[in-house]
Structure 1
Amino acid sequence: MTLTSKHTTTRVEFDLPEYCVRRRYQDFDWLKMKLEDSQPTHLIPPLPEKFVMKGVVDRFSEEFVETRMKALDKFLKRVADHPVLSFNPHLNAFLTAKDLNKRQGLALLTKVGESVKQVAGGYKLRARPAEFCAMGEYLDTFSQKLGTIDRIAQRILREQSEYLTELREYGAVYSSWAASEEQLQRPLEGVAGCVTTSCGALEDLSDNMSQDFLPVLREYVLYIESMKNVLRKRDQVQAEYEGRLEAAVLRKQEDRTPIPVEVEKCQDKVECFNADLKADWERWQRNKRQDFKQLLTGIADKNINYYEKCQTAWESLITVLQEKQTEDKTSETN
């Protein structure tokens, strides 16, 4: 699947003010991997799963393709809106390279930045600072809440699908019945029409849940894993610093040697990690509040719209029945 995305920028490092690029999923995966390697102290937005997305069964369906494209476009916008990631040379390459599949001219970029993978070696973290412990606890709780909501939403979606199947059959019975009941034809056709309207309203409600509600939940589940990964990297850097510092202190006590420069560099890494992580945490919280306010408002609007459509349809049936009753009384009188 290929995504066409348009990106506008005023940055001087870009040759053009606007780019329209066509990229495949593996190109986004490449960008995410390079961002993680070159910006290890920052939270990298998650990508949607490659093959399976909850709420979507057929990965070749139009619904799945559209949901995937929206998620990938959101990933790119989140990266482009980040005050640090937006300056990353790999993003520049992603937006400007004519053929990412051949990777021509991109090999040199693989060495940009410094990865902290396995940086801790044999060092063991003594204690995570309180503020980062609080982050970890919040992520665990938030993950549990989202997991519960996701499971219930999945069940509701399945039940709505089963109900929709029954409802369509229910309406069809009234339509066929109306064909053989001349005196009841209008009321029966009215019921069938109300059921058809209710089916359409329920289908719209279910589509909103599968295409808009569930993908946001899933994105934040993946976001939690990304944030936990950054926390683990931060812990590795702190563990390395504590281990090197302890060894340096012991050597200083024995032969009065000064603290090595490597220890000071490790301390700088820890401070940089802490500052970047806290800044990204605050930005993530702001975005989360905004996203979920919008999501919940959308849920309310969709449910109100669903019930209003159903109510209007069934109220119109009452009018039909009343008119039919008046006609019958008039006929009896005559």
Structure 2
Amino acid sequence: DLILPNGGTPAGTSSPASSSSLLNRLQLDDDLDGETRDLFVTVDDPKKHVCTMETYITYRITTKSTRVEFDLPEYSVRRRYQDFDWLRNKLEESQPTHLIPPLPEKFVVKGVVDRFSEEFVETRRKALDKFLKRITDHPVLSFNEHFHVFLTAKDLNAYKKQGMALLTRVGESVKHVTGGYKLRSRPLEFAAIGEYLDTFALKLGTIDRIAQRIIKEEIEYLVELREYGPVYSTWSTLEGELAEPLEGVSACIGNCSTALEELTDDMTEDFLPVLREYILYSDSMK
């Protein structure tokens, strides 16, 4: 065995003590980061609005900051999905050399997912909250003027109409110049990365389809289990000698139903959203 000076361990191995020390250092880094951060943004309190022409959801965005760019220490505004989409487009125009975090997909299959259901709205809220937090943590994007207006303006539509035409024209010009350059002479390194992203996105798409099929089958199986449990319980009342084992089978089916429901919820709420975010990120990088 390789013995290192001062009681060290060989490279590639770890001990419980070293792992614990690493976790402590990471926790300390997180605490220090929280103390030094000067911008905090949260998305919560979704509300449904029913108008004559449309129905939509708005989300409350609360911003707390000590930056000099903010006149007040705290702001609270409401935004709908299309406002988030506007922000992302503006960031792409004004910051063409930076990777802009992806938004959750806007459209859903009608009749399959109710976009006004509590579950869907909460899933979207979490995704929008993560979107803004990624921008907030970025050393360049978090200082973008459009982002500042998005967080603070009471009437965002007025700002949209007003424009800031000069910045828009400059952003579009830079975007066209950089885009044209890439088309004329794309380095081999970027070409290789592009091929890797295509393969990566293809495999993620396959995993996504398989995961959705598994969840669909689990839900169907869960419905059947919930029907079987009461059957065995009722059967036990009719069979004196078999009552105890039949009740045991019914209890086991109930336990299986609970475990399967938890597994399905975990895949739906934790696994699929992360997988979809990876897919959207790979699309953003192309």
Question: Counterpart in 2 of 1:134?
Answer: 192
The residue number in structure 1 matching 2:253 is 195
Find the counterpart in structure 2 of residue 95 from structure 1: 151
Tell me, yes or no, if the aligned pair for 2:201 and 2:283 is still in contact at 8 Å: no
Give the Cα–Cα distance (whole angstroms) in 2 for the partners of residues 176 and 163 of structure 1: 21
Provide, for residues 215-259 of structure 1, a one-character-per-residue CA deviation record: whole Å limited to 9, x for no partner. Answer: 11111211111111xxxxxxxxxxxxxxxxxxxxxxxxxxxxxxx
Q: Which residue in 2 is equivalent to 1:167? A: 225
More displaced stretch, 19-28 vs 80-89 = 19-28
Aligned equivalent of 1:268? none
> How do residues 277-292 of structure 1 correspond to structure 2 at under 5 angstroms?
none
Task: Identify the match of residue 171 of structure 2 among 87, 95, 114.
Answer: 114
Question: Among residues 75, 78, 90, which one is paired with 1:34 in the alignment?
Answer: 90
Instruction: Name the CA shift for 1:166/1:7 in 2 (closer, same or farther; >3 Å).
Output: same
Cα distance, 1:158–1:122 mapped onto 2, change above 3 Å: closer
Give, in whole Å, the separation in 1 of the partners of 2:140 and 2:121.
30
- Give, in angstroms, the shift of residue 123 of structure 1: 8.0
The answer to whether the 8 A contact 2:104-2:277 is kept is: yes
Cα gap change, 1:172 to 1:78, in 2 (>3 Å): same
Alpha-carbon deviation of 1:118?
4.4
* Corresponding position: 1:65 with 2:121: yes
Match among 204, 209, 220 for residue 278 of structure 2: 220
CA pair 197-95 structure 1, distance change in 2 beyond 3 A: same
Percent identity over the alignment?
A: 68
1:12–1:195: structure 2 CA closer, same or farther, 3 Å change rule? Answer: same
Asked whether 1:211 is paired with 2:269, we answer: yes
Gap change, CA 1:19 and 1:134, over 3 Å in 2: farther
Q: Please give the per-residue CA displacement for 1:283-307, whole angstroms capped at 9, x wherever unaligned.
A: xxxxxxxxxxxxxxxxxxxxxxxxx
RCO higher in structure (CA 8 A, sep ≥6): 1
Please give the per-residue CA displacement for 1:274-330, whole angstroms capped at 9, x wherever unaligned: xxxxxxxxxxxxxxxxxxxxxxxxxxxxxxxxxxxxxxxxxxxxxxxxxxxxxxxxx
Distance (Å, rounded) in 2 between the aligned partners of 1:123 and 1:218: 31
Residues in 2 aligned to 1:168 and 1:225: alpha-carbon distance in whole angstroms: 40
- Summarize the alignment of residues 302-321 of structure 1 with structure 2, pairs less than 5 Å apart: none
Q: Does 1:144 align with 2:202?
A: yes
Asked whether the 8 Å contact 1:89–1:109 carries over to 2, the reply is no
Instruction: Determine the C-alpha separation between the residues in 1 that align with 2:116 and 2:281.
Output: 25
Larger CA Rg, structure 1 vs 2:
1
CA 1:46–1:180: 2 relative to 1, 3 Å: same
- Which amino acid is the alignment partner of residue 249 of structure 2? V
Moved more, 211-220 or 117-126: 117-126
Shift of 1:131: 2.2
Q: What is the aligned partner in structure 2 of residue 256 from structure 1? A: none
Q: Cα distance 1:223–1:21, how it changes in 2: closer, same or farther (>3 A)?
A: same
Contact 1:63 1:211 in 2 (8 A): no
CA distance in 2 between counterparts of 1:18 and 1:120 reads 37
1:283 alignment counterpart = none
Change (3 A) 1:176 1:8: same
Deviation at 1:124, TM superposition (A): 8.6
Q: What is the TM-score of this pair, normalised by structure 2? A: 0.71
Contact 2:76 2:152 in 1 (8 A): no
2:99 equivalent to 1:43: yes
Q: Give the secondary structure class of the aligned counterpart of 1:73.
A: helix
Structure 2 unpaired stretches of 5+: 1-56
CA contact 2:101–2:135 (8 Å) conserved in 1? yes
Deviations 1:124-164 (A, max 9, x none): 94441122123212211211221121111111111111111
Q: Measure how far apart 1:173 and its partner are.
A: 1.2
Contact 2:90 2:146 in 1 (8 A): yes
Tell me the CA shift for residue 204 of structure 1.
1.5
Tell me how large the CA RMSD over aligned residues is: 2.4
Structure 1 distance, partners of 2:130, 2:188, is: 32
Query: Displacement of 1:185 after TM fit?
Result: 2.8
Deviation at 1:106, TM superposition (A): 6.4
> May I ask how many residue pairs the two structures share in their alignment?
225
Consecutive unaligned residues of structure 1, counting only runs of 5 or more, are 229-334
